[in-house]
Structure 1
Amino acid sequence: KAAYPSSVLMNAIPAKVAGVPELIMVVPTPHGETNPLVLAAAYLAGVDRAFAIGGAQAVAALAYGTETIPAVAKIVGPGNIYVATAKKLVFGQVGIDMIAGPSEILVICDGKTDPDWIAMDLFSQAEHDEDAQSILISPDQNYLEAVSQSINKLLPTMERADIIRTSLTNRGALIKVDDLMQAAEVANMIAPEHLELSVEDPEALSQHIKHAGAIFMGRYTAEALGDYCAGPNHVLPTSSTARFSSPLGVYDFQKRSSLINCSARGASVLGQTASILARGESLTAHARSAEYRIIPD
């Protein structure tokens, strides 16, 4: 439904910083058309090779390789439900970043932010696609009604009004809570991709947030800034996976190996422990391998 040069930057730059030796991009070209902004972003971010292919077939090509597309070690980046499902299926053959679902925004507001601002913040995710999720939580019922009025007022002015309307109808919500603490509890249950704390003291409220992909602090910090230029990555866990996942970063393109180095004396000491545990598990080859290195008294 759209081209995202910003996503090229968000995926490619951390990989380059991490030292990935070759970065390969696949990009669909609907009706044979390439998006110049996407290609420009790829060039600036240091993408080494680009292939005009998209969808689940692109994921398969990257995972297994073809005559023209080399197999890779890890696949990252957003896509539709077919791309997400394909990434899930090839995991194990290659690494992946996450199974990203539709975009999400959850706003907690104390009722003092301009309702038009919040309505547009909800639109900013709803316009991605019909399955996007936009939720506002507030202890102020009058404020929720004011935002609803702003939604009705502003929606006809939007270029992607049909998509926004469907998204808000199917997956949007205005939730009344008793207080901001209850709002935080609800937010933690939802574990949203994007969480705006549009309140007087966002630092205090943030101490009660356990699960969110990215947290936008205060009335002036619109989620849209994080999508493009605030600094942190906009590739974030969705569908409540923020309970156990983190934003994409340099660390996603790094791995670790354990290093073990024993002296003769160290091997002798550790061998006695290893022998006891190995024999307790009836793994005698393990035990004898360690015992061979025990220095006799």
Structure 2
Amino acid sequence: MMQTIDLRGQTLSTSQLRTVIPRPELDVTEALAGATQLIQEVREHGEEALLEQAERFDRVRPNAIPATGEAIDAAVEGLDPAVRSALEEMIRRVRLASAGQVPAPAITEVANGAIIEQRWEPVERVGLYVPGGKAVYPSSVVMNVVSAQVAGVKSIAIASPPQADYGGAIHPTILAAAGLLGVTEVYAMGGAGAIGAFAYGVETLGLEPVNVITGPGNVWVAAAKRAVTSVVGIDAEAGPTEVLIIADDNADPELIAADLLGQAEHDELAAAVLVTDSAELAAAVEPILARRTNATKHSERASTSLRGQQSAIVLVDNLTEAARVSNAYGPEHLQIQTADDNGVLELITSAGAIFVGPYAPVPLGDYIAGSNHVLPTGGQAIHASGLGAHTFLRAQQIIRYDREALDEVRDRLRVIATDEDLPAHGESVDARFGAGRDA
């Protein structure tokens, strides 16, 4: 069912590993021009452009783009009690874990009378995107909103595509999740146009521009985020979801197959990769995966993912090499199921989120572990982290020097200023000690 890539007996550099490791064919650059055009339409025509884009891409024209307070309240009231209970527990756990991501203020005395204070200031306003394609994602509402709230953001807006099945309204479960979190500014708009609306605002809707845009989406959303990065901050350009599993002959092939399939059902472009030093485990996983795929609800979608070029079983000589492969790949989700989980974990440098042991599958992180499921994809984990309270915080330094502390470094400062040919820098310091003043 899955292709096999045999790296045994080879010593490959990091660049070579990145060449042979499977990836989906997805180029955000190809969508950039189209996304930019959609954003420009929203800048020029505002609400009417959003309505036209909804008709074109979502096959429905909303009666109104902003959700009313009554609609949000009704969605909360109509939420299945079991779903509500699960969402409330998710909110509680994500809030607790997110609180650990807020750095404490720090004060450093670099010399007598010379103080540097570090503080973390939240942005004022954020736009949170919740996709509405093949599935409904109230969990993404929770992950985005809770992180922003814990960071201290005061103004939060949510966008999610209008749903043809609900007459152009936002899916009621999305609205209900927003209501549970106390968010009242929710818009039925999707795709690149929604990103443009967040970045530049839409006056007739009362939608003010935001400072940061976060949340997953399709290639058009990713391209739109790239297009507006000169105007707003973004979390990442999200691509197809992915899992990489490092496993040895200690792993249960039934669990490995179940975990590969769990990721593959997201999307035809989802990537499922098993890296193992056990040919026996690889052989055992294949028939189990085929059986499970044939029996699952989204069999066709999952089968396409697993047969695609982005999914593979990778054979390596040992677990050290498995870790090298994983670090070169930089997976969104990394699972470790080995006899010495912690030993392998110590070798890992690049991953969005790491799930250790047989009782920590990726769906735990998707929903109720307390961790955040908005994570870097497409190898971005090599240089970026997942969504968290820190995404909405800005580090600020506050400098306090008294006269004696400034006088102590005055000569050294002037030497550097002179060396850089910026004499007025030194003169601005000297002026505090009477130099350069008129008699």
TM-score, normalisation: structure 2: 0.65
- Identify the match of residue 16 of structure 1 among 125, 149, 166: 149
Are residue 270 (structure 1) and residue 409 (structure 2) matched? yes
Deviation at 1:75, TM superposition (A): 0.5
Deviation at 1:294, TM superposition (A): 4.0
The equivalent residue for 1:219 is 358
Task: List per-residue Cα deviations over 1:98-156 (Å, max 9, x = no partner).
Answer: 12221110001112333222112111221211221110011111211111111211111
SS of the aligned residue for 1:256 comes to: strand
Q: Report the identity percentage.
A: 41
- The letter of the residue matching 2:282 is L
Are residue 147 (structure 1) and residue 280 (structure 2) matched? no
Separation in structure 2 between the aligned mates of residue 122 and residue 287 of structure 1, nearest angstrom: 62
Task: List per-residue Cα deviations over 1:54-95 (Å, max 9, x = no partner).
Answer: 100000000000121221111110100000111111113111
Deviation at 1:33, TM superposition (A): 4.5
Deviation at 1:46, TM superposition (A): 2.6
Deviation at 1:169, TM superposition (A): 1.6
The equivalent residue for 2:347 is 208
The equivalent residue for 2:427 is 288
- The letter of the residue matching 2:191 is G
Deviation at 1:286, TM superposition (A): 1.5
The equivalent residue for 1:57 is 193
Preserved contact between residue 275 and residue 286 of structure 1 (Cα < 8 Å): yes
Written as runs of structure 1 = structure 2, the 5 A alignment for 1:212-251 is: 212-251=351-390
The equivalent residue for 2:51 is none
Deviation at 1:266, TM superposition (A): 2.1
Decide which moves more: 138-147 or 27-36. Answer: 27-36
Separation in structure 2 between the aligned mates of residue 33 and residue 120 of structure 1, nearest angstrom: 35
SS of the aligned residue for 1:261 comes to: strand
The equivalent residue for 2:267 is 129
Deviation at 1:295, TM superposition (A): 6.5
Preserved contact between residue 335 and residue 356 of structure 2 (Cα < 8 Å): yes
Preserved contact between residue 267 and residue 293 of structure 1 (Cα < 8 Å): no
The equivalent residue for 1:191 is 330
The equivalent residue for 2:305 is 167
Written as runs of structure 1 = structure 2, the 5 A alignment for 1:36-185 is: 36-67=172-203, 68=205, 69-170=207-308, 171-185=310-324
Task: List per-residue Cα deviations over 1:163-220 (Å, max 9, x = no partner).
Answer: 2112112211001111111111111111101011011221121111111111111112
Deviation at 1:278, TM superposition (A): 1.2
Separation in structure 1 between the aligned mates of residue 434 and residue 406 of structure 2, nearest angstrom: 9
* Root mean square deviation of aligned Cα: 1.5
- The letter of the residue matching 1:271 is R
Preserved contact between residue 375 and residue 385 of structure 2 (Cα < 8 Å): yes
Preserved contact between residue 267 and residue 294 of structure 1 (Cα < 8 Å): no
- The letter of the residue matching 1:267 is L
The equivalent residue for 2:392 is 253
Deviation at 1:38, TM superposition (A): 1.2
In terms of fraction of residues, the more strand-rich structure is: 2
TM-score, normalisation: structure 1: 0.95
SS of the aligned residue for 1:290 comes to: helix
- The letter of the residue matching 1:51 is Y
- The letter of the residue matching 2:182 is G
- The letter of the residue matching 1:39 is L
Displacement over 6 Å in runs of 4+: none
Separation in structure 2 between the aligned mates of residue 45 and residue 158 of structure 1, nearest angstrom: 33
SS of the aligned residue for 1:258 comes to: strand
SS of the aligned residue for 1:257 comes to: strand
Separation in structure 1 between the aligned mates of residue 434 and residue 243 of structure 2, nearest angstrom: 63
Preserved contact between residue 272 and residue 290 of structure 1 (Cα < 8 Å): no
Separation in structure 2 between the aligned mates of residue 243 and residue 46 of structure 1, nearest angstrom: 35
Separation in structure 2 between the aligned mates of residue 270 and residue 92 of structure 1, nearest angstrom: 37
Preserved contact between residue 169 and residue 188 of structure 2 (Cα < 8 Å): no
Separation in structure 1 between the aligned mates of residue 278 and residue 313 of structure 2, nearest angstrom: 11
**Greater RCO (Cα-Cα under 8 Å, separation 6 or more):** 2
- Tell me, which stretches of 5 or more residues in structure 1 are unaligned? none
Preserved contact between residue 104 and residue 238 of structure 1 (Cα < 8 Å): yes
